[in-house]
Homo-oligomer: A and B are copies of this chain.
Amino acid sequence: MSGIRRLVLDILKPHEPKITDLALKLTAIPNVDGVNITVYEIDKETENVKITIEGKDLDFERIRDVIEMMGGTIHSIDEVVAGKKIIEEVKTPQDRK
């Protein structure tokens, strides 16, 4: 089954620690193959970032713990991919409406 293969998370965090440190901490979690963090909004004290994590059997609780330990809060889980292979979201005519 291979469990959870990808998580896309919407995070609010203080400017420090930096996203370089957060990325390194997340790749230290077992089963994580790679982490992508982009900043989409910067405020005075905080920033909103999007985290894309890929791997096998990803452990959501542990990932959340690391994010919170680094001062971040998960606003929402925007995408989850699970299973033997990574399936992309398929656009249908309903999405174009």
Contacts and interface: CB of A to CB of B under 8 A. Distances in A.
A82 B52 contact: no
B37 A83 contact: no
Contacts of A90: 6, 8, 36, 52, 79
A33 B93 contact: no
Contact of A92 (B2, B20, B38, B42): B38
Given A10-B94, A87-B54, A94-B10, A23 B39 contact: no
Interface residues of A, number: 52
Given A10-B94, A32-B83, A60-B20, A27 B39 contact: no
A23 B4 contact: yes
A94 B78 contact: yes
Interface of A: 1-8, 10, 18-20, 22-24, 26-28, 32-40, 42, 50, 52-54, 60, 76-90, 92-95
